[in-house]
Every structure is written in C-alpha cells, then in structure tokens.
C-alpha cells in the first residue's frame, strides 16, 4: 500500500510538471531568432535562415521526456521469474541530458540494480526510464533520485541502486573550464542501503573491467 501511494504521489507530481501549457512553435522559433541577434549575428543570412526551426526540432528531441509518463512506462511487469531473487544489474547505460542552469549537455553513464520481490521488468524499460528523465532539464542529483524512486515505487523490490557518472559541459567548456572532471552521484534504497555486503557486491560489479566486444 505504501509503495502504491508513493507511485501515485510521484505520478501526480510528474503530471503537474509535464502538463504545463507550452508556447506556440512560432514563439519558440522567434525566441531562437532573438538569441541569434543577441549574439551579434544576422538571422537572415543564408546559413542561419533555417536555424530557428532546426533548433526547435532539436529541442523536441532533447526534451521529449516531458511527454512520457515514467510510471506508466514501468507498469508492465512479469511475475514468471522462477523465484529469481538475486540482483539484476544494468551497467553503462548511455546518458545524454542537459543542465537546467545553462542548458548545455551532461554526458555520461548510468548503472542500475534492483533486488526483485516477485516481479521483474523488461531491461529495455529501465534504459528507457533513464531516457525519460534525462530528456528533461536536469541536475544530476535530481536525475539520480528520480530514476531510483520510480523503480522503487513501481516494482516494490527489496532494494534499488542507481549510480551516475557524468561530465558537465557547463564546467568543462565554460566557466572554470576543467575538462576531464566527472561527477558521481548515487541513490541506494532498501537492502542496498542497509546491507553492506549487497552494497559492496553491486559497487564491485559496476567497477569490474568490461570485455572489449568491438
């Protein structure tokens, strides 16, 4: 009951966020045109004439996560697991997001693990869940919590772990300009938080060397 209530609470909060009224497409394109003019360039020159439309199309792709319900995404689960109750781990899920402070890329990888309690979900749905939240304006700490909390609320597992390692272009290409720096965040719930051995096993699995399949 508590997990169901948590899922409903997450869904309501997400609906309030994603159902905001959007400006018309023409207004968005006009805003891009204004920014081009603000940089000092001419939006009517040949190379830039189609840029406002292209930028808006790109934004539709970059931020499509606002149009998808993450709770519904995980709704279809499977109970025929032959009583499998050990760790399920996905390593190195590609992360492409945008910093909400400067709207520049956040690039990295996500590791997810959960301990099933009678139900599992298709692994592509977990990767898609990462995309749903990543394709929104984000800070890494919030992104990490959203992924973990949604899995926990919908699947009701015995534990969830999410670790994100990412580089932030707002730090590497502007401002302090420190390339090569990555940020690591994690959220541990259930047994990953309370059981040191489970936590150690998970962290060991995601740090183990990868085979080169190329």
Catalytic-labelled residue, pool 98, 131, 140, 146: 140
Asked whether the beta carbons of 195 and 160 are under 8 A apart, the reply is no
- The DSSP 8-state label assigned to residue 191 in this structure reads H
Asked whether the beta carbons of 159 and 109 are under 8 A apart, the reply is no
| Gyration radius from the chain CA atoms | 20
Catalytic-labelled residue, pool 98, 99, 111, 131: 99
d(CA 48, CA 31): 14
State residue 124 phi and psi, 5-degree precision: -65, -30
Catalytic-labelled residue, pool 8, 64, 100, 141: 100
Check if 111 is active-site: no
Catalytic-labelled residue, pool 29, 165, 170, 193: 170
Check if 138 is active-site: no
CA distance readout (Å), 28 to 20, 155, 173: 15, 38, 26
DSSP string, 117-147: SS-B--HHHHHHHHHHHHSSEE-HHHHHHHH
Check if 101 is active-site: yes
Check if 99 is active-site: yes
Residue 180 region, left (φ>0) first, then alpha (ψ -120 to 50), else beta? left
Check if 61 is active-site: no
Catalytic-labelled residue, pool 26, 37, 64, 101: 101
* Residues labelled catalytic: 99-102, 140, 168, 170
């Amino acid at each position: 009951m508590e997990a169901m209530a948590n899922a409903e609470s997450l869904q309501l909060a997400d609906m309030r966020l994603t159902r905001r009224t959007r400006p018309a497409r023409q207004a968005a394109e006009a805003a891009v045109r204004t920014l081009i003019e603000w940089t000092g360039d001419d939006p009517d020159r040949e190379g830039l004439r189609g840029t406002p439309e292209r930028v808006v199309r790109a934004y539709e792709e970059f931020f499509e996560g606002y149009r998808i319900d993450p709770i519904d995404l995980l709704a279809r689960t499977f109970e025929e697991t032959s009583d499998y109750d050990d760790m399920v781990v996905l390593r190195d899920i590609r992360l492409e997001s945008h910093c909400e402070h400067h709207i520049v890329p956040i690039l990295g990888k996500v590791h997810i693990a959960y301990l099933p309690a009678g139900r599992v979900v298709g692994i592509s749905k977990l990767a898609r869940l990462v995309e749903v939240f990543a394709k929104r304006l984000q800070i890494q700490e919030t992104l990490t919590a959203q992924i973990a909390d949604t899995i926990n609320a919908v699947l009701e597992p015995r534990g969830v772990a999410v670790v994100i390692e990412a580089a932030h272009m707002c730090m590497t290409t502007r401002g302090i300009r420190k390339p090569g720096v990555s940020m690591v965040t994690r959220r541990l719930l259930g047994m990953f938080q309370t059981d040191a051995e489970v936590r150690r096993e998970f962290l060991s699995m995601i740090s183990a060397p990868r085979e080169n399949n190329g």
